[in-house]
Amino acid sequence: MTSPESPVRDRAESWPVTNSQDLYRDDWVMALRADTVHRPGHDDEAFRRLVLEHPGAVVVLAIDEQGRVPVLQQYRHPAQRRFVELPAGLLDASGEEPLVTAQRELLEEAGLQAEHWEPLISTYASAGILTERHFIFVATGLSAADRGDFVLEHEEADMGLEWIDIKELQRGVMAGELQNSGLVTAVLAHAMRSNLTAKP
């Protein structure tokens, strides 16, 4: 049990790194390096950790007035699986705030814009090896919008888009039928927040 003076929370901390070696790096946004790390106060205790550098990503849970959510079906080669996903994308534009990226991704992937945006939650995808952080937003007040000159390519060119009731997404997550981490986190966090803010 915690007290108000010491709440349970993550905190920023950085252990000494005495050597860092690039294992793979090119002109793309991701890179792999090996760090030699020391536990503070234990200079003789060195250990190696692989770090996959990743700029982070945004995920958009867009909900219309009927409680429906636009979802994509996208093939993901590493998993050899077609996932049901929410509009999402990398934070790969230098200096761009997560909210701006989220707005752009909703437009590009779903052809939608939203009047209202609210941060829902942020998570680290796999902190033991990845620097990747997900910023998840709820978007409401939806309307169709022109993608402009943006063209879907590669896996994105094969995406399907459909509208699914959010309660069906909740059911699919809890049944283990939907496993994309961004979708699972967004749907469950939204359900929890809705329960916490519901009037008794």
Catalytic residues: 156
DSSP bridge pairs for 82: 75
Rounded distance between C-alpha atoms, residue 45 and residue 42, angstroms:
5
DSSP bridge pairs for 53: 31
Q: Are the C-beta atoms of residues 183 and 85 closer than 8 Å to each other?
A: yes
Query: Can you tell me which residue has the tokens 């090119």?
Result: 26
Q: Quick one: CA dihedral 172, 175, 180, 184, positive or negative?
A: positive
Q: Which residues contact 178 (CB under 8 A, 6 or more apart)?
A: 83, 84, 169, 172, 184, 187
Strands 133-144 and 57-62, by their bridges, are parallel
Rounded distance between C-alpha atoms, residue 66 and residue 52, angstroms:
40
